[in-house]
A and B are shown apart, each in its own frame.
Chain A
Amino acid sequence: MICIDNSEWMRNGDYSPSRFQAQADAVNLICGAKTQSNPENTVGVMTMAGKGVRVLVTPTSDLGKILACMHGLEVGAEANLAAAIQVAQLALKHRQNKRQQQRIIAFVGSPVKYDKKVLETIGKKLKKNNVALDIVDFGESDDEKPEKLEALVSAVNSSDSSHIVHVAPGENALSDVLLSTPIFTGEEGGSGFAASAAAAAATGATGFDFGVDPNVDPELALALRLSMEEERARPEAIAKKAAEDSSTENKDHASSSNTDAVMTEAEPSSNAAADDKKEQPKEDDDLLQQALAMSMEPASGSAAVADAAMADASAVDPDLALALQMSVQDANMSSESDMSKVFEDRSFVTSILNSLPGVDPNDPSVKDLLASLHGQGEQEKKEDKSDKPEDEKK
């Protein structure tokens, strides 16, 4: 139940455009937030001054009706806080759905003529009847108004369900200040409406990763998170791979450790692209052939193609990206001739093949491939290391 202050003090312009207008905006915002956060919420509106304490609309979930009743409200007379709270209590008592929690939101923008004792008694009565009270204190703060209202709210408050907000006059609009208060966000932990409105108002950190609310769009948020993780994992994998490869001499040891590394890297990558898993073995084979071909070609020609292939492959498989990277490196380093490089290639290729699901290292075709690799490597060694395009793929 929202109590609006439409007393003479609301003509003041210290909140732009006028106190009354700022209050009306805030009321509209609150009504929208409450009705959106829970479809069973109902909101009612009443005036504290003007023609007197009267209920403009009884608690309803129809937002249009609530906004319509705010039109044509006249400003005048004095606000009667005590009577207004009592009428609000009565209106809440006769609500249709008895399971709803009772809450009064009062906007107090003019001086309060009651003294603290009376207000505390009112507060206790509200607490006894399990009614929560939120107060928005704005306007002048003379005559102990803030202290009186604080006393009222602390008398009502039981387990932090009632709140009070003091808004000082200034450039900040009343509704903007209220957006971040618990009056708006409520105890349910923030409705989507309020949270997004608060996010829009507060420029900068929205509080959500990737600017997507996981509540609003879980799939999108999940996809964004996974791609971030994959992106993060790739340079780490490449660095780890390079370190391990460069430090091995023993082929078996290297192959086993590479296999372990490849296995663990294959794990996150396969987890990340869950729906790509079926396509991966096929793509791996094709790309592997491509990579092997690349490594036999001259530097200038293959560099551009290798980059393109790398871009494609790296999107799918981090270790494949590493292989391509290494193949580009090989192409560039034309005068390399160490056997260890070949061994690395071979062990690395072996380990890749071992890790690929569905590829059996004992398969004759695979063995042929490996033999041709080895043969080609020896041929390279015998030749003048001038990277002639042999183009003997197998």
Chain B
Amino acid sequence: MAATNTAAAAATPAPAPAAPAPAVQVPRGQVDLVDFIDWTGVECLNQDSSHNIVNALKQLYRDDEGLYLASDSDEQLLIYIPFMQVVKLHSTLIKGPEDEGPKTVKLFSNKEHMGFSNVNDYPPSDSLDLSPDHLAENKPTTLKYVKFQNVRSLTIFIEDNQSGSDVTKIHKIALYGST
């Protein structure tokens, strides 16, 4: 059974003016959850104001290679994404540059308004250890589905990056799941 890859309908649009967008393999039966994000409540701690979270999350911004999310004071980032309805999260795709892309990513489901000080007090719902291949390819990483059955809000904590530099850069964060 070859893995049937649905067409890139849900995720990326036709070749953008900046660079031709490669086809993303959206997992079967899942949709891109970007439509369910409650944009008024999206927050990102320690982001650089000129390179902010919108660049990585929003539909057209995230496919532009020139726009990315960058951290400010140090390499950690804390992203809080509320949803407009309860969703089930299946997989996620994170893209970034090879050296400054994120390495350790912790995901917390339904934890409101965490700060950097208490982020390590709770066990994460899931934790990803990304390699440069993960960041370059277009295949979403599957999560522990059972932990994300009832997600009202998602907190993404990026602990460090690939090269250990002071600035973490992320080109795209895409979330796939179902309602």
Q: Are A129 and B115 in contact (CB under 8 A)?
A: yes
Q: Are A128 and B49 in contact (CB under 8 A)?
A: no
17 additional A-B residue pairs with CB within 8 Å, beyond A124-B73, A128-B76: A93-B115, A98-B112, A98-B113, A124-B74, A127-B46, A127-B73, A128-B45, A128-B46, A128-B72, A128-B73, A128-B74, A128-B116, A129-B46, A129-B115, A129-B116, A129-B117, A130-B46
Tell me, in angstroms, the Cα distance from A130 to B113 when the chains sit together.
12
Known: A124-B73, A127-B72, A128-B72. A159 touches B49 (CB 8 A): yes
Within 8 A of A (CB), among B99-127: 112-113, 115-117
A57–chain B nearest beta-carbon distance, Å: 23
- Contact flags B41-75 to A (C-beta < 8 A → 1, else 0): 00001100100000000000000000000001110
Assess whether A38 is interfacial by the CB under 8 Å rule. Answer: no
Mind listing 9 A-B residue pairs with CB under 8 Å?
A: A93-B115, A124-B73, A125-B73, A127-B73, A128-B46, A128-B74, A129-B115, A158-B49, A158-B72
- Contact flags A328-365 to B (C-beta < 8 A → 1, else 0): 00000000000000000000000000000000000000
Q: Are A130 and B49 in contact (CB under 8 A)?
A: no
Known: A93-B115, A98-B112. A129 touches B45 (CB 8 A): yes
Known: A98-B112, A128-B46, A129-B45. A93 touches B72 (CB 8 A): no
B158–chain A nearest beta-carbon distance, Å: 13
A138–chain B nearest beta-carbon distance, Å: 29
B23–chain A nearest beta-carbon distance, Å: 37
Within 8 A of B (CB), among A105-158: 124-125, 127-130, 158
Tell me, in angstroms, the Cα distance from A124 to B46 when the chains sit together.
10
A44–chain B nearest beta-carbon distance, Å: 18
Tell me, in angstroms, the Cα distance from A334 to B147 when the chains sit together.
104
Tell me, in angstroms, the Cα distance from A129 to B74 when the chains sit together.
11
Question: Which residues of A are interface residues toward B (Cβ below 8 A)?
Answer: 93, 98, 124-125, 127-130, 158-159
Tell me, in angstroms, the Cα distance from A189 to B18 when the chains sit together.
38
Question: Which residues of B are interface residues toward A (Cβ below 8 A)?
Answer: 45-46, 49, 72-74, 76, 112-113, 115-117
A161–chain B nearest beta-carbon distance, Å: 10
A87–chain B nearest beta-carbon distance, Å: 13
Q: Are B117 and A93 in contact (CB under 8 A)?
A: yes
8 pairs of A and B residues whose beta carbons are closest in the complex? A124-B73, A98-B113, A128-B46, A128-B73, A159-B49, A127-B73, A130-B45, A158-B49
Tell me, in angstroms, the Cα distance from A128 to B115 when the chains sit together.
10
Tell me, in angstroms, the Cα distance from A98 to B76 when the chains sit together.
21
Query: Which residues of B sit under 8 angstroms from A127, Cβ to Cβ?
Result: 46, 72-73
A224–chain B nearest beta-carbon distance, Å: 39
A86–chain B nearest beta-carbon distance, Å: 11
Query: Which residues of B sit under 8 angstroms from A158, Cβ to Cβ?
Result: 49, 72
Tell me, in angstroms, the Cα distance from A108 to B158 when the chains sit together.
36
Tell me, in angstroms, the Cα distance from A130 to B45 when the chains sit together.
6
Tell me, in angstroms, the Cα distance from A53 to B11 when the chains sit together.
53
A364–chain B nearest beta-carbon distance, Å: 70
Tell me, in angstroms, the Cα distance from A130 to B48 when the chains sit together.
11
Tell me, in angstroms, the Cα distance from A93 to B74 when the chains sit together.
20
For residue B50, which residue of chain A has the nearest CB?
A: A159
A355–chain B nearest beta-carbon distance, Å: 55
For residue A125, which residue of chain B has the nearest CB?
A: B73
Tell me, in angstroms, the Cα distance from A129 to B118 when the chains sit together.
12
A132–chain B nearest beta-carbon distance, Å: 13
B124–chain A nearest beta-carbon distance, Å: 20
B45–chain A nearest beta-carbon distance, Å: 6
B115–chain A nearest beta-carbon distance, Å: 6
Tell me, in angstroms, the Cα distance from A124 to B112 when the chains sit together.
23
Tell me, in angstroms, the Cα distance from A307 to B72 when the chains sit together.
75
For residue A126, which residue of chain B has the nearest CB?
A: B73
Tell me, in angstroms, the Cα distance from A109 to B137 when the chains sit together.
57
For residue B43, which residue of chain A has the nearest CB?
A: A130
A94–chain B nearest beta-carbon distance, Å: 10
B78–chain A nearest beta-carbon distance, Å: 9
Tell me, in angstroms, the Cα distance from A44 to B167 when the chains sit together.
34
Tell me, in angstroms, the Cα distance from A160 to B111 when the chains sit together.
30
Query: Which residues of A sit under 8 angstroms from B49, Cβ to Cβ?
Result: 158-159
Tell me, in angstroms, the Cα distance from A108 to B117 when the chains sit together.
27
Tell me, in angstroms, the Cα distance from A10 to B175 when the chains sit together.
56
Tell me, in angstroms, the Cα distance from A158 to B49 when the chains sit together.
8
A28–chain B nearest beta-carbon distance, Å: 31
A151–chain B nearest beta-carbon distance, Å: 15
Tell me, in angstroms, the Cα distance from A128 to B76 when the chains sit together.
9
